[in-house]
Amino acid sequence: MSRILTEELVFLNSQVKTKEEAIQAAGELLVAGGRVEAPYVMGMLAREQTMSTMIGNGVAIPHGQHPDLKYIKETGISVLQIPEGVLWDEGELVYLVIGIAATMEEHIGILQNLANVVDEIEQVEFLSKTNKKSDIINALDA
């Protein structure tokens, strides 16, 4: 099994202007990385319409909905780093967008690991400003 997060799945210094652009970009990383088929990205966008995927401390974790699981080829996460932040919910900026493609069984483990990392605001601030993909991979691919 390959690693959940690799260099090709990390995009540094993104200049996206909207949360929809951010979700699209995070999804396209998963597509380009061979983790999902293109329709999964539409599911990520649809999911955001029903419920915000912002989890606090400047982090959002967009992911598909149950019907979109069929588009997952291999579990993976993508990371879109937005140093300037992008408006997510009213008055809330997001600096790290972590796209998730995982089966139901793997999903919980990935969320628990991400929760531990993003729980610390200093860690999020560091990851949102670093210019090294390896810093992000080391922090998130535990």
Task: In the chain, count H helices and then E strands.
Answer: 5, 5
Q: How far apart are CA 66 and CA 108, in angstroms?
A: 14
- DSSP string spanning 11-78? E-S----SHHHHHHHHHHHHHHTTSB-THHHHHHHHHHHHS--EEETTEE--B--GGGGGGBSS-EEE
CB 7 within 8 A of CB 78: no
Of these residues, 40, 63, 128, 140, which one is catalytic?
63
> Does the annotation count 63 as an active-site position?
yes
- Return the active site residues: 63
